[in-house]
């Protein structure tokens, strides 16, 4: 085994040798062969109309009722420059001041006229200096920069100051390059290689790092060159809208289509997931039941070379921006698209594939369930878990979150579950109406949420449907990522004492409601494809039945568990221009006497048991060790630009990480056995997928459908134990208040 001192000496001896290695070939910084692509971007007449429409919509519809005249022009301009240059690597302080000095006096006039001239002028300046800088960096990468600086470097420069001069920015870049070289070398080092390091080994690692960094910076240059006028408009106007609040944004036509797809979990296309691999459009996945899979002519890793609409001319898509390729392949339902393919199974051939576009359902984003079996006082009990990724919905016959969750509850009830976990840890929100309807699955009637508009009027939203889908023990599992509609459901069920909230200390803290307003300008109506851009504007704040808003504070868990999330800036309170916390009067409401709820004694009992396990069970000791390590790493804002020191630290980190992984793997046996339950539509698409691939439907082995998961989900595992305790603790005294009593809201 080589010692750290010997290792350090070896690297220091090697560095002079590395500096004189023959540079790998790269583009000359003298050629500027990108200049033929530098056609100035200019705004369209439609963009002018959209800008004026947006300003009018903001002033009339936004909750704050601010005037555009109240906008701080200097702050807005600096925000826009920061959004272009997030790490402050291209502009220096004087450059930023020059831009502000030039445009601050007339900025509001330009905006009121719908004139995007400042946006495009600033972007052209950014593009020019960024491309020149990246070319310089490519030359420095090829010349093997020194990696033995005895200085520290702040990795994240986003919150730091702008470099004061061009010379100081040059110094920053020398440190950036050294840090990226070290990172590339370290990213391909494992513990075994570190123990057996040699001169040849490090030389090869640095050669490989050079190749990877050249590719990385060329991709960066390509991304800048691919930026379109619509992208400049979207960034500029969203910078403006986020001066009002962080959730108000402008959506150009492309962004509006992406938003609709995410909310509805469906789109029209061929059903393939694409990626850009060194300029080639590569198929990464065929979606089950989609026309691409049904064609039986495409496989993952096939390369798409050209695209044609119907029987028209083919368009070469090599090195085309991926979003443009997607736009070419998507189209109206029941229309033809032709693809020229280089198959992965025969890379020397090219074939033409004809596909009829169809509606694609994104089943991977729908609700799903698992049935868990565990022992409770030597008795086997069944507990259900439903994971809901978002509160999706549809204006037509598509899927709605409430309907899907209700279907899964019915499936779980057939399995005789005695308790249910609703997992909202990764649920960032969705439709307000779906949140109200879904909460109503667990109460017979009552208030779900209060909504206050900018005029101060408050509307109360109730569940009036007496139907109950589940009237037993219920846990809502949350995290700091649970936001908006998730917080409405968690908060309402907590107010009703209907569900116990478990997870991070609190949820995200987004207590605002946005409305999507299509841009109804004359030029939008003239669009032959009937596609419109839109504005997503904060129009209301919502409050729980108790009168408290979740804004900033979120919904506090009844039983919390440690998590790295508490050390991450991912909450609403971490966002700029977030609305304030406040409260309104609570809703006076009498709960039905026969509705299931929990008592404070029951909750106290469950808290005590959980805290005892968190103090004694090995998985929580592992979790706390992991969190402490993560927190310490996060607090290290600087890194040393010295390969020998970083390699030494890498070895220490690898060994600690390896010990954590081994420790975690030993915990997997604690997991409860479970089996998945899916929606009928998912079953249908899975069967269709097997059919089109010529594979028979495999019947599930009914004698042993349960399996242990490969990894222990510590927070879900503890939630199931809490639920098991609750089932065991239930008695007649734990049921709802006596007839005539008032609900504790």
DSSP letter for each residue of 209-225: HHHHHHHHHHHHHHHHH
Residue 82's domain comprises: 4-17+44-61+67-243
Q: What is the mean pLDDT of residues 500-527?
A: 84
Tell me the C-alpha distance between 601 and 596, whole Å. Answer: 15
In degrees, to the nearest 5, what angle opens at C-alpha 270 toward C-alphas 267 and 274? 90
Q: What is the pLDDT of residues 204-252, one digit of tens each?
A: 777 888 889 999 999 999 999 999 999 999 999 999 999 999 999 999 8
User: Are 406 and 521 in the same domain?
Assistant: yes
606 secondary structure, DSSP code:
H
User: Are 165 and 201 in the same domain?
Assistant: yes
Looking at the predicted structure, is the pLDDT value of residue 526 above 80? no
Q: What is the mean pLDDT of residues 558-580?
A: 94
Q: What is the pLDDT of residues 419-436, one digit of tens each?
A: 999 999 999 999 999 999
pLDDT category of residue 523 using cuts at 50, 70 and 90: low
For the record, the structure tokens of 499 come out as 């569900």
User: Are 377 and 433 in the same domain?
Assistant: yes
Number of C-beta neighbours around residue 41 at 10 A = 17
If residue 262 lies in a helix (H) or strand (E), which one and from where to where?
helix 253-264
Q: What is the mean pLDDT of residues 323-327?
A: 89
Question: Which of 243, 275, 295 finishes a domain?
Answer: 243
Looking at the predicted structure, is the pLDDT value of residue 3 above 60? no
Lowest mean pLDDT among 425-429, 616-620, 712-716, 730-734: 730-734
Number of C-beta neighbours around residue 194 at 10 A = 19
pLDDT category of residue 120 using cuts at 50, 70 and 90: very high
User: Are 476 and 515 in the same domain?
Assistant: yes
User: Are 232 and 278 in the same domain?
Assistant: no
Helix axes 4-19 and 199-226, enclosed angle (nearest 10) = 60
Task: Please return the burial class of 402, using the count of CB atoms within 10 Å of its CB with bins 0-12, 13-18 and 19+.
Answer: buried
Phi and psi, residue 639, nearest 5° = -125, 155
Mean pLDDT estimate for the chain: 87
Which pTM was predicted?
0.88
In a domain, 696, yes or no: yes
In a domain, 248, yes or no: no
For the record, the structure tokens of 683 come out as 């079953």
User: Are 208 and 223 in the same domain?
Assistant: yes
pLDDT at residue 145, as a whole number: 77
Number of domains in the chain: 3
In a domain, 740, yes or no: no
Residues 541, 579: contact at Cβ < 8 Å? yes
Question: How far does Cα 572 stand from its chain's mean position?
Answer: 15
pLDDT category of residue 300 using cuts at 50, 70 and 90: very high
* CATH number, domain with residue 413: 3.90.226.10
Residue 696 or residue 504, greater confidence: 504
pLDDT at residue 737, as a whole number: 44
Pairing verdict, β 358-361 and 368-376? unpaired
726 secondary structure, DSSP code:
H
* CATH number, domain with residue 280: 2.30.42.10
Question: Which of 361, 381, 411 finishes a domain?
Answer: 361
Kindly compute the dihedral angle of the four CA atoms of residues 444, 407, 428, 745, in this order, to the nearest 10 degrees: 10
Phi and psi, residue 377, nearest 5° = 55, 45
Q: Using only C-alpha atoms, what is the Rg of the chain?
A: 29
Tell me the C-alpha distance between 281 and 321, whole Å. Answer: 9
Number of C-beta neighbours around residue 684 at 10 A = 14
User: Are 332 and 378 in the same domain?
Assistant: no
In a domain, 22, yes or no: no
Question: Which of 336, 361, 386 finishes a domain?
Answer: 361
Residues 382, 316: contact at Cβ < 8 Å? no
Looking at the predicted structure, is the pLDDT value of residue 396 above 90? no
pLDDT at residue 363, as a whole number: 85
Q: What is the pLDDT of residues 38-49, one digit of tens each?
A: 788 999 999 999
548 secondary structure, DSSP code:
B
pLDDT category of residue 531 using cuts at 50, 70 and 90: confident
Tell me the C-alpha distance between 499 and 420, whole Å. Answer: 10
Lowest mean pLDDT among 156-160, 336-340, 493-497, 644-648: 644-648
In a domain, 679, yes or no: yes
User: Are 314 and 431 in the same domain?
Assistant: no
In a domain, 635, yes or no: yes
Phi and psi, residue 43, nearest 5° = -75, 150
Tell me the C-alpha distance between 531 and 524, whole Å. Answer: 7
Q: How many residues does the chain have?
A: 745
Q: What is the pLDDT of residues 728-741, one digit of tens each?
A: 988 444 444 443 33
User: Are 194 and 287 in the same domain?
Assistant: no
Looking at the predicted structure, is the pLDDT value of residue 713 above 80? yes
């Amino acid at each position: 085994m080589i010692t750290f001192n010997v290792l350090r000496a070896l690297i220091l001896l090697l560095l002079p040798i590395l500096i004189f290695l023959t540079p790998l070939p790269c583009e000359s910084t003298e050629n500027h062969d990108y200049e033929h692509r530098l056609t100035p971007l200019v705004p369209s007449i439609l963009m002018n109309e959209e800008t004026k429409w947006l300003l009018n919509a903001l002033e009339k519809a936004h909750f704050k009722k601010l005037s555009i005249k109240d906008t701080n022009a200097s702050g807005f301009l600096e925000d826009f420059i920061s959004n272009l240059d997030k790490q402050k690597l291209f502009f220096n302080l004087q450059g930023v001041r020059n831009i502000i000095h030039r445009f601050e006096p007339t900025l509001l006039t330009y905006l009121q006229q719908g004139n995007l001239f400042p946006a495009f002028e600033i972007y052209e300046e950014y593009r020019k200096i960024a491309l020149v800088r990246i070319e310089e960096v490519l030359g420095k990468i090829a010349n093997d920069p020194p990696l033995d600086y005895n200085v520290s470097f702040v990795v994240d420069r986003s919150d730091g100051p702008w470099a004061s001069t061009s010379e100081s920015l040059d110094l920053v870049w020398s440190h950036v390059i050294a840090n990226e070289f070290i990172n590339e070398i370290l990213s391909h080092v494992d513990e075994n290689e570190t123990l057996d390091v040699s001169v040849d080994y490090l030389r090869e690692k640095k050669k490989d790092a050079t190749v990877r960094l050249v590719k990385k910076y060329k991709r960066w240059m390509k991304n800048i060159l691919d930026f379109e006028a619509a992208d400049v408009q979207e960034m500029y106007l969203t910078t403006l809208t986020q001066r009002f609040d962080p959730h108000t944004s402008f959506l150009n036509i492309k962004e509006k289509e992406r938003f609709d797809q995410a909310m509805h979990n469906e789109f029209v296309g061929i059903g393939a997931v694409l990626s850009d691999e060194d300029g080639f459009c590569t198929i990464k996945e065929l979606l089950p039941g989609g026309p691409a899979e049904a064609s039986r002519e495409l496989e993952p890793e096939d390369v798409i070379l050209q695209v044609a609409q119907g029987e028209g001319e083919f368009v070469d898509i090599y090195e085309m921006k991926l979003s443009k390729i997607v736009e070419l392949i998507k189209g109206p339902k029941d229309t033809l698209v032709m693809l020229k393919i280089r198959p992965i199974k025969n890379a020397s051939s090219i074939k033409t594939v004809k596909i009829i576009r169809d509606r694609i359902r994104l089943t991977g984003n729908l609700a799903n369930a698992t049935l868990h079996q565990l022992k409770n006082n030597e008795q086997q009990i069944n507990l259900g878990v439903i994971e809901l990724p978002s509160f999706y919905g549809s204006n037509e016959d598509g899927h709605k979150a409430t309907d899907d969750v209700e279907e899964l509850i019915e499936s779980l009830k057939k399995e005789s579950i005695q308790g249910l976990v609703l997992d909202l840890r990764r649920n960032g929100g969705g439709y307000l109406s779906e949140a109200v309807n879904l909460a109503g699955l667990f109460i017979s009637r009552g208030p779900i949420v209060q909504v206050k508009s900018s005029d101060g009027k408050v509307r109360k939203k109730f569940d009036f449907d007496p139907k109950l889908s589940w009237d037993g023990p219920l846990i809502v599992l949350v995290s700091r990522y649970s936001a908006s509609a998730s917080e409405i459901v968690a908060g309402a069920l907590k107010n009703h004492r209907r569900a116990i909230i478990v997870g991070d200390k609190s949820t995200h803290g987004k207590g605002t409601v946005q409305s999507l307003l299509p841009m109804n300008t004359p030029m939008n109506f003239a669009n032959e494809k009937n596609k419109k851009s839109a504005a997503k504007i904060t129009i209301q704040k919502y409050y729980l039945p108790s009168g408290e808003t979740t804004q900033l504070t979120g919904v506090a868990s009844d039983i919390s568990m440690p998590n790295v999330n508490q050390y991450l800036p991912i909450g609403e309170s971490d966002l700029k221009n977030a609305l304030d916390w406040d409260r309104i009067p609570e809703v006076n409401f009498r709960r039905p006497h026969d509705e299931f709820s929990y008592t404070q004694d029951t909750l106290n009992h469950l808290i005590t048991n959980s805290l005892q396990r968190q103090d004694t069970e090995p998985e929580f000791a592992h979790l706390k060790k992991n969190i402490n390590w993560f927190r310490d790493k996060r607090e290290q804002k600087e890194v040393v630009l010295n390969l020998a020191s970083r390699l030494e630290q890498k070895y220490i980190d690898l060994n600690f990480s390896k010990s954590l992984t081994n420790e975690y793997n030993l915990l997997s046996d604690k997991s409860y056995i479970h089996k998945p339950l899916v929606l009928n539509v998912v079953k249908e698409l899975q069967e269709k997928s097997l059919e089109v691939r010529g594979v028979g439907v495999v019947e599930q082995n009914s004698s042993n459908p349960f399996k242990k998961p490969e990894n222990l989900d510590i927070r879900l595992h503890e939630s199931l134990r809490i639920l098991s305790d609750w089932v065991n603790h239930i008695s007649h005294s734990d049921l709802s208040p006596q007839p005539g009593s008032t609900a504790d809201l």
